Amino acid sequence: MIPRIEILNEKKLIGKRLTMSLAENKTAELWRSFMPNRRFIINNLTNDMISLQVYKPSYFTNFNPTNEFEKWAVVEVTNFDNVPNDMETFILTGGLYAVFDYKGLSTDNRIFQYIYQTWLPSSEYDLDDRPHFEVLGEKYKNNDPTSEEEIWIPVQTKINKQ
């Protein structure tokens, strides 16, 4: 699977967040709390939802399934003028991303193993310290093997080490 490389512009996002780990995954809880109130976000740019992860800089170098990270359930908005009471804002800074078009169950972690263990080490890119996210568009179907989503991995060009 070969990704496309894109330069992302800054995005304004509104949604909810939870701290979790892979060992103590609270993704379902996060989305259950976000979805009923999503309709109160009135200035969406698209109908896409975004699942976003914010990792500490050492998360991948000292990887352990109990390492905590912040996960967000968000939508992109035009501005922060109307933020529902129980939601927060997030500014996703722009930058270079490797974008993987994925089809399959969102619970199947083999795609991430491929990205981090196979594709990234053999690519001309290193992981960058910015949020990772998945765009859940109109072809996304929760818990369905025909579901489609985009996986956005922050990258930077490898520095030549001699």
Strand partners, 145: none
Residue 137 belongs to a domain? yes
Residue 162 belongs to a domain? no
Q: Quick one: average pLDDT of 3-16?
A: 97
Model confidence pLDDT, tens digit, residues 12-33: 999 999 999 999 999 999 999 9
Q: What are phi and psi of 119, to 5 degrees?
A: -65, -55
Residue 19 belongs to a domain? yes
Residue 84 belongs to what domain range? 4-157
Residue 85 belongs to a domain? yes
Residue 81 belongs to a domain? yes
CATH of the domain at 113: 3.20.80.10
β-strands 148-157, 132-136 pairing: antiparallel
Decide: 47 and 136 in contact? Cβ < 8 Å.
no
Model confidence pLDDT, tens digit, residues 81-109: 999 999 999 999 999 999 999 999 888 88
Residue 24 belongs to a domain? yes
Res. 162 pLDDT band, cuts 50 70 90: very low
Res. 159 pLDDT band, cuts 50 70 90: confident
Element (H, E) at 23: none
**Structure tokens, 10:** 């800054």
Decide: 17 and 88 in contact? Cβ < 8 Å.
yes
Question: What pTM did the predictor assign?
Answer: 0.93
Q: What are phi and psi of 86, to 5 degrees?
A: -95, 15
Model confidence pLDDT, tens digit, residues 61-82: 888 999 999 999 999 999 999 9
Domain total in the chain: 1
